[in-house]
Amino acid sequence: MAVADLVLGCMYFGTRTDERTAFALLDRFVEAGGTTLDTADCYAFWASDTGAGGQSEELLGRWLRARPGVREQVVLATKVGPEPVVPGDPSRVVGLAPDVVRRSFDASRERLGVDVVDVYWAHLEDRSVPLDEVVATFGGLVAEGGVRRLGISNHPTWRVERARALAAATGVEPFSLLQLTTSYVRPRPDVAVPGKDHRFGFATDETADYLTEHPELELWAYSPLVQGAYDRPDRGFPEAYDHPGTSRRLAALAKVAAEQGVAPGQVVLAWLLGGRPAARPIAGVSSVEQLDQAIAAARLELDDDQRARLDAAR
């Protein structure tokens, strides 16, 4: 495992995380060997006075301009789909219609100040648009040289497989990255988790099986630390995580963390990075101290016995 396997989440850059702090985080991440930055055109409309997104991309664009040569060192990933049609009203989002995707993509490139986006994500499902149109639109962005790789987030596995089959049949670039939320502990099935309103946003055993059968795919895990619940008793886990499996896993996690002399959340990140299949955790941090903890976690080695005990707790 290496720091390059970690993804830096830039969701609140330019809103809750001010520019000075964000620049310090970006500089530290690259200095430590990090490469991959994750944002979206809708970040963070709910934290902005405007009710519209774009602040994170704009800040990243300013950072890139202020750091000549750094563009060649980083992998830029951004997304399209959940931006509100009317600022401040998330009940209607722009979705994935071909004209919307292309218009949003051009706006993202302008905010980022780049010609090429390394990874472009379909951020959420939009069943109002035929899937073959979605596949053709995203594939066209790659064929035209504007995008290098395609990702698909918050989609059920069967839709991912169908999209990849359509891409193969039509000879366009397929989606080769998945982004879902997952962690060491999981909520009870079919129970709503506050703040997680994507019906198919959680990685499941089926996801793991699909990735095992398709090693060319890459999983990025968002919210891997469940908003700091592992290390901050004052926050705690949402009620959906209250079941016997969580208790057993937290007990196993505490033992391994004590053996390693690190925080439980750091073990979680190391467990994800070294898993089978592996998941690249997206570290959403707001201070250099938090980032340094994530960097240390990316370098943490769990021995075979520790990993087996973590895996066996259920």
pLDDT (tens digit per residue) in 132-170: 999 999 999 999 999 999 999 999 999 999 999 999 999
**pLDDT for the residue 9:** 98
**pLDDT for the residue 196:** 78
**pLDDT for the residue 192:** 84
**For residues 50-78, average pLDDT:** 98
pLDDT exceeds cutoff 80 at 207: yes
Q: Known catalytic residue: 12?
A: no
pLDDT > 70 fraction of the chain, expressed in percent and rounded = 100
Confidence of residue 57 (pLDDT cuts 50, 70, 90): very high
pLDDT (tens digit per residue) in 259-285: 999 999 999 999 999 999 999 999 999
**For residues 301-308, average pLDDT:** 97
pLDDT exceeds cutoff 80 at 180: yes
pLDDT > 90 fraction of the chain, expressed in percent and rounded = 95
Q: Which of 137-141, 230-234, 296-300 has the lowest mean pLDDT?
A: 230-234
**pLDDT for the residue 177:** 98
Confidence of residue 195 (pLDDT cuts 50, 70, 90): confident
pLDDT exceeds cutoff 90 at 189: no
pLDDT exceeds cutoff 80 at 1: no
Domains and their CATH numbers in the chain:
3-241+263-303 (3.20.20.100)
One of 12, 43, 184, 241 is an active-site residue; which one? 43
DSSP the chain: --GGG-EEE-TTBTTTB-HHHHHHHHHHHHHTT--EEE--TTTTGGGSTTS---HHHHHHHHHHHHSTTGGGG-EEEEEES-SEEETTEEEEE----HHHHHHHHHHHHHHHT-S-EEEEEE-S--TTS-HHHHHHHHHHHHHTTSEEEEEEES--HHHHHHHHHHHHHHT-PPEEEEEEE--SS-PPTT--BTTB--TT-B--HHHHHHHHH-TT-EEEEESTTGGGTTT-TTT---GGG-SHHHHHHHHHHHHHHHHHTS-HHHHHHHHHHTSSS-EEEEEE-SSHHHHHHHHHHHT----HHHHHHHHH--
- For the chain, the average pLDDT equals 96
**pLDDT for the residue 199:** 86
